[in-house]
């Protein structure tokens, strides 16, 4: 087994959510290789992260960890590729 890179889009539940704080909380449990904050609409911004993890056969664990963070509305895996 190798490592996989997972591209994840995170939607906050309001424009007031500090996405830098969300990144800090994610880093407590997951290895983030890169991230960017992009404008969405009406002052709302989304967080896109690139995570490297061992290939365990799924992304459910990472998605669950991120969904538990205060201020996170939804988590969407955009891409998974071997590293």
pLDDT digits (tens, 9 = 90+) for 68-83: 999 999 999 999 998 8
pLDDT score at 43:
85
pLDDT at 1 > cutoff 80 = no
CATH number at residue 49: 3.30.70.60
Number of domain units in the chain: 1
pLDDT digits (tens, 9 = 90+) for 22-48: 999 999 989 999 999 999 988 899 999
Q: State the residue range of the domain holding 68.
A: 3-82
Tokens, residue 73: 């509305």
Q: For the chain, how many residues are written?
A: 83
**pTM of the predicted model as reported, rounded to 2 decimal places:** 0.91
- Coil, strand or helix: which one is 39? strand
pLDDT score at 61:
92
Residues linked to residue 54 through DSSP beta bridges, in sequence order:
3
pLDDT score at 49:
98
- Cα separation, 21 vs 25, in Å, equals 6
């Amino acid at each position: 087994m190798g490592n996989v890179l997972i591209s994840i889009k995170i939607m906050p539940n309001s424009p007031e959510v500090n996405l830098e704080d969300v990144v800090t909380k994610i880093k407590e449990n997951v290895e983030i290789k890169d991230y960017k904050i992009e404008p969405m609409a009406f002052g709302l911004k989304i967080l896109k992260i690139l995570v490297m993890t061992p290939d365990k056969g799924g992304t459910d664990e990472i998605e669950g960890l991120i969904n538990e963070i205060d201020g996170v509305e939804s988590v969407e895996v955009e891409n998974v590729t071997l590293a």
